[in-house]
Structure 1
Amino acid sequence: MATNKTQRVTMSDVARRAGVSRTTVSFVLNDKPGAAIPDETRRRILEAIDELGYRPNAGARALAANRSGWFGLITEIVTGPFAAEVITGAQSRAWGDRRFLLIAASEGDPAQEAAALDQMLEHRVEGLLYATTWHRAVSLPKAAREVPTVLVNCYDAAGELPCILPDEVSGGYKATRRLLDAGHTRIGFINLDPAIPAAIGRREGYERALREAGITPDPSLVIPGWATADGAYTAACELLDRPAADRPTALFCGNDRMAMGAYDAIKERGLRIPHDVAVVGFDNQELIAAYLRPKLTTLALPFEAMGTKGVDMLAALAAGQPLDTHRVTIDCPLLERSSV
């Protein structure tokens, strides 16, 4: 039966059109160092490639050059807003070096994660980024050590792999410092799960800012909201139902979802934001922070910057260059809106 399938143009076809050997075509395509190819010969080969529409076999080139031009990126949920920012930063930086990203979502499934890693290694990626949606310790399959690997928003407990993390302590400090600068001295902190790294770091920054201002941190003003709006609503009610002299005039919420719950508790009590109670969030979840009323002052998690830095580090490792440090922290910028 006849088919409409177009026959693939080969390197031998290009060689015949240009009147040279297949080896000479290969030298030109791979820009082989030390190959003294006359300019006229190179021109004929490039013209033949253009006329015939030849496309090099990427797999064969990767095998020959031991360089694919690809980095791999594995993350839990590629459609989430934070993952999209990591991808944007990593892809923009990779493209500057004419590299591409091979992206896979693990959906939090270890088996799917291992399969994605195997596929990336089969495609001869030159390095791997592994990104999580929340800051925590991770354990990667041993196969991840076969290529340079950089962790984004996470770290391995053994400290073997380089990692890039948000500066949680500085973020907590800046959030609290902003409230202190606005004149508040009684500042409640509705924290995340107290055991996770982000909660620990942000509380450290909160307490550091208070001490620098000459205020002894009051543990009773720190209540976990467990990263949910409902949890923060309950915590805010507890803080705001204190006697007026003991009630906080400002709330630092460990993420923007919790700030949303705190808003409800504040407004139910007839209090105004920021006139009676100021609020600062964390994460800059755009669909929350920019659409609350009043708009929420918050700290942004630097996912795009972490993706960019991850590719910088991978490129250095792939080139055999040592890293200055294996643990990089990225600043969380304060975004001013209307809640302070």
Structure 2
Amino acid sequence: MAIKRTRNVTMTDVATRSGVSRTTVSFVLSNRENANIPDSTRKRVLEAVDALGYRPNAGAQALAAQKSDWYGLITEIVTAPFAVDIIKGVQDKAWDERKFVLIASSEGDPAMETAAIEKLLEQRVEGLIYATTWHRSVTLPQAALEVPTVLINCFDPDDRFACVVPDEEMGGYRAAKRLLDAGHSRVAFINLDPAMPAAVGRRAGFDRAHAEAGITVDPDLVAYGHAEADGGYDAAAALLDSPRPPTAFFCGNDRMAMGAYDAIKERGLRIPQDIAVVGFDNQEIISQFLRPRLTTVALPFEQMGAMGVTMLAGLIAGEPLSTNRMLIDCPLLERASV
């Protein structure tokens, strides 16, 4: 059965019960300095607040102070595994700052994004965080410029907003270097779609690791699996059946690594004894349950969420940012596939 709510207790009710003016109640509740309110009066007001169950009107407080203690977070799919990690990073860091987070799902629909931003601004959020589940360029509605705004896992092509993105190049470098250091000189790279920022960065890291090792990248060992398991399987199968097959695979994400595992095992080859594999993303439902467990590079979603809040707090406080684009490290997680 629903609980019947009593009418809202007002500041006037508190003033009447404690025998003081409404202004005195306001000064006590706002801890107004230099109000010269006796301790006995302050105690009487607070006792009345407790007895009546008075709650301040957050909307009125925000209007008066131009400060709400709320941040707004817009993300496309709040139930996606990576989005959950971003949300956790944002919420945990916001709580450390004694702030709260209002979350709006946009489902990747520009109309919903605009509506979500407008609704969050109506709630007088102090700033906005906009997060995507994959690294890309985005264009936000003009309304996002009304308050400090930080982008997570995405960037504005016109550089209007500060952003936090993964260091894709360093991640690609670490993956390739791990395989090269293990003694592999023919490392195949099954990349994402070539135009994606993640694909560009990871390829740059792959090339840099080879250059440092004094090895020229064989263009025949670079393929594209379009981020799907089937694409990883097809690319790996073609490479393994080529005249000079690779001895190791760096896959641009864990899904493609899962497909590569199937192609490798179908040919009677063993991982890592015959073929080594490194993935990217650390999608735990894949990387920790493949056998052998997949060595992979982690995308730092939780850390990006936390850094986004740190940058937003700085912008709200009027502090200059050291950079408008913060790169977050992508660590290598060693398991059993190399």
Same fold (TM over 0.5): yes
Other-structure match for 2:183? 183
Say which SS state the counterpart of residue 231 (structure 1) adopts. helix
Tell me the SS of whatever aligns to 1:128. Answer: strand
Match of 1:264 among 262, 265, 268: 262
State the Cα deviation string for residues 156-187 of structure 1 (Å, max 9, x = none). Answer: 00011100000000000000111112111110
Map residues 276-295 of structure 1 onto 2, 5 A cutoff. Answer: 276-295=274-293
Secondary structure of the residue that 1:135 maps to in structure 2? strand
Q: Which residue of the partner structure matches residue 252 of structure 2?
A: 254
Q: What is the TM-score of this pair, normalised by structure 2?
A: 0.97
Structure 2 unaligned blocks of 5 or more: none
Matched with 2:103 is 103
Between the aligned partners of 2:38 and 2:134, the Cα distance in structure 1 is 55
Counterpart AA for 1:270:
G
Counterpart of 2:227 in 1: which secondary structure? coil
Q: State the shift of 1:65 in Å.
A: 1.0
Distance 1:91 1:308 in 2: 8
Aligned residues: 336
TM-score by length of 1: 0.96
Provide the residue aligned with 2:37 in structure 1. 37
Letter of the 2:94 counterpart: A
**Counterpart position of 1:305:** 303
Aligned to 2:336: 338
CA deviation map 1:237-287 (0-9, x unaligned): 1111123xx211100000000000000000000000000000000000010
Shift of 1:220: 1.3
- Partner Cα distance (1:17, 1:65) in 2: 26
Partner of 2:162: 162
| 5+ residue gaps, structure 1 | none
d(CA) in 1 for partners of 2:318, 2:128: 15
- Bigger shift: 29-38 or 109-118? 29-38
In 2, the alpha carbon distance for the partners of 1:70 and 1:168 equals 31
Shift of 1:50: 1.1
Alignment of 1:102-141 (within 5 A): 102-141=102-141
SS of match in other structure, 2:173: helix
Match of 2:273 among 272, 275, 282: 275
- C-alpha distance after superposition, 1:94-147 (max 9, x if no partner): 111221100011001111111111100000000000000111110000000000
Aligned to 2:210: 210
SS for the counterpart of 2:78 is coil
| Distance of 2:82 and 2:168 partners within structure 1 | 16
- SS of the equivalent of 1:118 reads helix
Aligned residue type for 2:216: T
By how many angstroms is 1:28 displaced?
2.4
Alpha-carbon separation, structure 2, partners of 1:43 and 1:168: 57
Aligned equivalent of 2:193: 193
Q: Percent identity?
A: 68
What displacement does 1:34 show? 4.1
The residue identity in structure 2 corresponding to 1:338 is A
The 3 A distance-change label for structure 1 pair 175 and 34 is farther
> 1:237 corresponds to which residue?
237
3-state SS, counterpart of residue 251 of structure 1: strand
Q: After superposing the two structures, state which structure 1 stretch, 7-16 or 68-77, moved more.
A: 7-16
Structure 2 distance, partners of 1:311, 1:32, is: 29
Pair 1:187–1:34, CA change in 2 (3 A)? farther
1:130 alignment partner AA: Y
Per the alignment, residue 142 of structure 1 pairs with 142
Deviation at 1:33, TM superposition (A): 4.2
Structure 1 residue 5: deviation in Å?
4.3
In the alignment, the residues of structure 2 paired with residue 284 and residue 261 of structure 1 have an alpha-carbon distance, to the nearest angstrom, of 15
**Secondary structure in structure 1 of the residue aligned to 2:103:** strand
Corresponding letter in the other structure for 2:130: Y
- Given the superposition, is the C-alpha separation of residues 210 and 60 from structure 1 closer, same or farther in structure 2, using an over 3 Å criterion? same
Q: Per-residue CA shift, 1:66-120, capped at 9, x if unaligned?
A: 1111000000000011111111011011111221100011001111111111100
Map of 2:6 onto structure 1: 6
**CA separation of 1:301 and 1:33: change in aligned 2, threshold 3 A:** farther
Return the alpha-carbon distance in structure 1 between the equivalents of residues 204 and 303 of structure 2: 23
Query: Distance between the aligned counterparts of 1:21 and 1:106, measured in 2?
Result: 46
Q: Where does residue 82 of structure 2 map in the other structure?
A: 82
